[in-house]
């Protein structure tokens, strides 16, 4: 019998709804899974606090605990320092003149995947997974499939190693993301995401809605609430 090499995946894990579904999806499909988070001075550092809780809870799903490896945290304070964004500064969350919300951090996902590849190179992880989505999103150009495909090619060439950049949510909307969570881990996973994942740009966990905690008014809360309502409507 020929032993097949185990595939290790590294998930960009922020503690938000999308990256939590990505982590569950990786645990369902790969032999070994590690996580990486980035601290770039985002105002919603509360999202980072959710990470540990979510990882612990996901490790208790059948078969997933044995696959879940270490978590890595990379500090990128310079990214917050050089970007003029509502996530890292006291800037109103609104639409900017460029047609993008003021939460846009230029180049963020390019940097995240490049750092993840550098880490994956050392850790032997050939699959890098991120929750980018161009279906139901704020228009960030670094979330689009074309960008990720070009970045994958640049990383493979620049590191002379085969990496796959996987974005399981790219073509599905937020309602389908909730449905995917249900498919992967049933009501227990949906409930976990509602209770312990965090998406709100304002870092507000003082208000509990049926879709989870958040201010209820920022673009991230609006997307999450609308998606959850559509998910429930689709189930009924």
Q: Are 11 and 48 in contact (CB under 8 A)?
A: no
Minimum CB distance to Zn ion, residue 217 (Å): 6
| 3-state SS assignment for residue 172 | coil
Q: What value, to the nearest 5°, has the Cα angle with vertex 10 and ends 225 and 167?
A: 45
**Contact call for residue 86 and Zn ion (CB under 5 A):** no
Does 218 sit near Zn ion (CB under 5 A)? yes
- Minimum distance from CB of 151 to Zn ion (Å)? 28
Which of 221, 223, 224, 227 binds Zn ion (CB under 5 A)? It is: 221
Note whether 200 binds Zn ion by CB under 5 A: yes
Give the shortest CB-165-to-Zn ion separation in angstroms. 28
| Cα distance between residue 55 and residue 135, in whole Å | 27
Nearer to Zn ion, 176 or 223 (CB): 223
CA atoms within 13 A on the CB side of 75: 1
Candidate residues 214, 225, 227, 231; the one interacting with Zn ion per rule CB under 5 A: 214
Which residue(s) pair with 207 in the sheet? none
Pairing, β 68-75 against β 208-209: unpaired
Number of residues forming the site for Zn ion (CB under 5 A):
6
Task: Please state the separation of Cα 231 from the chain's center in Å.
Answer: 19
215 near Zn ion, rule: CB under 5 A = yes
Between 30 and 213, whose beta carbon lies closer to Zn ion?
A: 213
**Distance (Å, whole) CA 190 – CA 103:** 26
The region of 16-24, 119-127, 205-213, 217-225 touching Zn ion under the rule CB under 5 A is 217-225
Contacting positions for Zn ion (CB under 5 A) = 200, 202, 214-215, 218, 221
């Amino acid at each position: 019998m020929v032993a097949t090499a185990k595939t290790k995946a590294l998930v960009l894990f922020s503690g938000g709804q999308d990256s939590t579904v990505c982590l569950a999806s990786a645990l369902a499909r790969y032999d070994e899974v590690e996580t990486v988070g980035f601290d770039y001075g985002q105002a919603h550092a509360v999202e980072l606090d959710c990470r540990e809780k979510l990882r612990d809870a996901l490790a208790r799903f059948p078969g997933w605990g044995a696959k879940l490896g270490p978590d890595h945290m990379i500090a990128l304070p310079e990214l917050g320092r050089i970007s003029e964004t509502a996530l890292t500064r006291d800037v109103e969350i609104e639409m900017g003149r460029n047609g993008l919300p003021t939460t846009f951090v230029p180049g963020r996902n390019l940097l995240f995947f490049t750092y993840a590849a550098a880490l994956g190179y050392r850790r032997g992880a050939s699959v890098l997974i991120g929750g980018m989505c161009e279906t139901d999103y704020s228009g960030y150009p670094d979330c689009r499939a074309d960008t990720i495909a070009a970045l994958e090619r640049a990383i493979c060439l620049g590191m002379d190693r085969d990496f796959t950049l996987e974005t399981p949510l790219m073509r599905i909307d937020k309602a389908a993301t909730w449905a995917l969570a249900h498919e992967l881990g049933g009501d227990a996973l949906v409930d976990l995401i509602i209770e312990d994942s965090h998406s709100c740009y304002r870092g507000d966990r003082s208000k509990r809605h049926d879709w989870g905690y958040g201010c209820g008014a920022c673009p991230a809360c609006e997307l999450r609430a609308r998606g959850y309502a559509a998910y429930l409507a689709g189930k009924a």
